Amino acid sequence: MKSRKGKDCYWAQEIADKFGISKKTLYEWEEKGKIPKAPRDWRGWRMYNEKHLKQVKRVIEEKKRIIR
């Protein structure tokens, strides 16, 4: 986790590890509009925030409901 302008930011791998998904899955959800597009740093790396965390959690919960 990094801090940018007083807000916590997470890299894609941190999000993937936290939720047990792959970075590829995270990127696919972003491309499909399931989660908002993440801003990027000067290197082009995605920087996710708390809003993204909540959206990822929501997508995972929806998938679990569908499977049941």
Task: Tell me which H or E stretch contains 62.
Answer: helix 50-67
Please report the pLDDT score of residue 68 as a whole number.
Answer: 67
Whether 36 has a pLDDT exceeding 60, the answer reads: yes
Q: Name which of 5-9, 13-17, 55-59 the model is least confident about.
A: 5-9
Could you tell me the two tokens for 3? 């801090």
Confidence band of 61 (pLDDT split at 50, 70, 90): very high
> Cα–Cα distances in Å, from 14 out to 22, 27, 65?
10, 13, 24
What is the pTM (predicted TM-score) of this model?
Answer: 0.81
Domains located in the chain, CATH noted: 2-67 (1.10.1660.10)
How much of the chain, in percent, has pLDDT values that exceed 90? Answer: 76
Nearest to 27 by CA among 66, 35, 7: 35
Could you tell me the two tokens for 32? 């499909």
Whether 67 has a pLDDT exceeding 90, the answer reads: no
